[in-house]
Amino acid sequence: MMMQRIRKAGQSFFGKLLITILFSILIGAFAIWGVGDIFRGYGRNEVAKVGRTEISIDQMRNAYQNEIQTLTRQQRRAIPPEMARALGLDRQVLAKLLTEASLDQTARNMRLAVSDETIRNLILEDPTFRDASGNFSAPRFNDLLRSNGFTEQSYVRSQRETILRQELAEMVVGAVAAPVALQELGHRLRNERRNVTFAKVPASAAGEIAAPSDAQLRSYFDERKTSFRAPEYRSANLLSLTAETLADPSTINDDEAKAHYEQIKAQRFTAPEQRTIQQISFPSLTDAQAAKAKIDGGASFESIAAERNVAEKDLTLGTFTRPQVFDEAVRNAAFELAEGAVSSPVDGSFGPVLLRVSKVEPEHVRPFEEVAAEVKSELATTRASAQLRDLHDKIEDQRAAAKPLGDIANEFKLKLRTVGPVDSGLRKPDGTQEEALPGGDSAVQAIFRSDIGVDNEAIRLPRDAGYVWFDVTKIDPARDQSFEEVKAQVEAQWRGDEIANRLSAKTRELVQKLDSGESFDVVAAAAGLTIEQAQDLGRQDQNPELPANVVSLIFGTPVGKSNSAAAGDGRVLFKVDSATVPPYVRTTQDADNFARLLGSSVSEDMLMEYVAKLQADLGVSINDAAFRNATGGATN
């Protein structure tokens, strides 16, 4: 099975890196289809939230910087922040974190787990970490982790999370084999290369265009009235009922809040003891004992690390609570050490080590006074949740009595929101954008399906989070705008069309000359054009001179023939000089990899749909301001 092969590959260190690349295809798709549609602002330190999982500013910033560094190494040049954002790298990283958070939370909800013993065996059996004799090598293990930006703890966590994500993927996706005909077509699409002679035809080649008369513009307008129509605009009143809007923390007294605080204090407001652990690995217990003897004799921990060629930045494993330390022997030893002390040799899961705890952060419990407002708000929200259904029924009774939403809002002390006029994309007549509605797209669609005076059904929010009632208060029908209203737009569009038509006619004449046998040099010189060459052009190549639509037409034009295509405010005239396609040899490793990639593309589509459904069910919200903060974007 294809997913079994993926799982097998993912069990090795470099296989893990390959799996990451494959998943990035899926993540790129999410980045394209609309992370922006779910941007909201809700907190200062959280970039996003998927269900109950929060993505912090630091987490986003670190992932983003790691991605920029990877791209910098690949491109062998510095990638400034403006370029990274122009490439959409910030959105891709966010989409990746959202996807991972969705899969991780689903795995937790399904109570999927990977035992420490399984992870340990995978690492010990990974041939990447074996020495020349075929045995697991702790020094090689640590060196490879450091060179790839991992610590022992982060690598173990990455292994565990990736295996669980693969398990979920295998539950959803089956094996798909690509037919040979599709493989051959894909080979041609991937590997065909073309040589092209071309010349840019600027807008100025259209010549002087006299100012149009009123009669010309009116005629142009009359022929295209539909393109100048004003869309339908609607106005509406909305009443939103959620636990958050209904909650009143002032109704919670201190005794109730303190009782609830005591119940959740250990889980919610207690920061357990954390220790910053440093580690030096050794090839044998004898070497570790000798190093400890040197330290007892006055040598520093850092000097021993230098002898072992361990850079100072690589000494620190990280800061952990006791359960977060993967290795039981390391865990027990580290949490018995005094701050600054060096342990005796510890026989860890991956070889002997010496440990030092450089910092101890004692357990800290946030006092009730500090979190009283939060506790009261939570209690009030919980209490309001229990009242939602009852209040829903009362509001429905009022609706049945034909009471206006404004009166209902006043009676139950709820906020009425007025919206509009807006079109179906929530754009206002002045071109600005209305804030998202409670209920999202469902509410917008319902408003534009309804009518004035209609008794509309309440919109139920996802996960039974509440209800939204609405009344359409005004409808401004789509209408034909008068010539006078849109005269400036009409003239601009007319002028653009005139230039495009003249250039199209001019290049059509040039193409006819080329296809009749005249040389490109002669035709270009007569037209005052500068000749350029594009050698070994691929189907996916593009640049400012040859944008994507031009390249697409180049590959749709027979060899030896000419054509032209729009490019910016001008056109590009070109002739296809030659085309080459290497033979497709199915027995090569590249062909095998490509066949598997084609088959997996269908699987990736299925997985993308699955993750989209997970995120719809879990709920995703994004803090735009925090996102910009984490990625260095503009804050205004």
In the numeric block, the tokens 């993750």 are attached to 611
Res 30: pLDDT: 43
| DSSP-H helix ranges across 269-327 | 285-296, 301-307
Is the pLDDT at 41 greater than 60? The verdict is no
What's the average model confidence in pLDDT over 565-583?
Answer: 89
User: What is the predicted pLDDT for the residue at 9?
Assistant: 43
Confidence check: pLDDT of 523 > 80 = yes
Note the pLDDT tens digit of each residue in 542-558: 777 888 899 999 989 99
Cα 95 from Cα 627, distance rounded (Å): 12
Question: Identical fold at 2-180+587-631 and 270-365?
Answer: no
Among 44-48, 181-185, 232-236, the least confident range: 181-185
Report pLDDT digits (tens) over 1-39: 333 444 444 445 444 444 444 444 444 444 433 444 444
pTM: 0.43
Q: Which tens digits make up the pLDDT trace of 278-311?
A: 999 898 899 999 999 999 999 999 899 888 888 8
Whether residue 95 contacts residue 31, with contact meaning beta carbons closer than 8 Å, is answered with yes
- Per-residue pLDDT at 342: 92
At 581 the pLDDT is 82
Query: What confidence score (pLDDT) does residue 174 get?
Result: 61
Is the predicted pLDDT of residue 322 greater than 80, yes or no?
yes
pLDDT the model gives residue 65 = 82
Mean pLDDT of 183-203: 83
Residues 6+ apart with CB under 8 A from 433: 426, 427
Query: Contact, 126 vs 11, CB < 8 A?
Result: yes
Which pair of tokens denotes residue 289?
A: 């004992």
- The pLDDT > 70 percentage for the chain reads 88
For residue 576, the model assigns a pLDDT of: 93
Using CB atoms within 10 Å of the CB of residue 553, give its burial: 0 to 12 exposed, 13 to 18 middle, 19+ buried: middle
Split at pLDDT 50, 70, 90, the class of 315 is confident
Of residues 556 and 134, the one with the higher pLDDT is 556
Alpha carbon distances (Å) from 386 to 247, 380, 389, 415, 618: 11, 10, 7, 20, 21
pLDDT on residue 148 = 72
Instruction: Report DSSP state, residue 529.
Output: P
Task: Give pLDDT, residue 31.
Answer: 41
Rounded CA-CA distance 126/530 in Å is: 59
- Whether 161 shows a pLDDT value over 90: the answer reads no
356: left (phi over 0), alpha (psi -120 to 50) or beta: beta
pLDDT surpassing 80 at residue 276: yes
Check whether 107 has a pLDDT greater than 80. Answer: yes
- Give the CATH architecture of domain 2-180+587-631: Orthogonal Bundle (1.10)
Between the CA of residue 413 and those of 240, 416, 437, 547, what are the distances in Å?
Answer: 12, 9, 20, 57
Domain ranges of the chain: 2-180+587-631, 193-229+485-580, 233-251+370-476, 270-365
Among candidates 2, 4, 127, 27, which has minimal Cα distance to 608? Answer: 27
pLDDT of residue 192: 84
Residue owning tokens 């910033």: 61
Long-range contacts of 580-584 (CB under 8 A, 24+ apart): 580/192, 580/193, 580/194, 581/187, 581/188, 581/191, 581/192, 581/193, 582/191, 584/183, 584/184, 584/187, 584/188
Distance CA 450, CA 238 (A): 13
Whether residue 292 contacts residue 345, with contact meaning beta carbons closer than 8 Å, is answered with: yes
| Tokens coding 530 | 């500068």
Average pLDDT, the chain: 82
Rounded distance, CA 310 to CA 146, Å? 10
Given the structure tokens 């909201």, which residue do they identify?
A: 40
Categorize the per-residue pLDDT at 195 as very low, low, confident or very high, splitting at 50, 70 and 90.
very high
- Strands 39-40, 620-623: pairing is parallel
Maximum distance among all alpha carbons in the chain? 101
Handedness of CA 243, 245, 250, 251 (dihedral sign): negative
What Å distances lie between residue 93 and 77, 98, 459, 608, CA to CA? 20, 9, 33, 16
- Across the range 526-537, mean pLDDT stands at 91
Mean pLDDT of 377-402: 81
| Residue 595 pLDDT | 67
Can you give the pLDDT at residue 34? 41
Under CATH, to which class is 270-365 assigned?
Answer: alpha beta
pLDDT score, position 599: 67
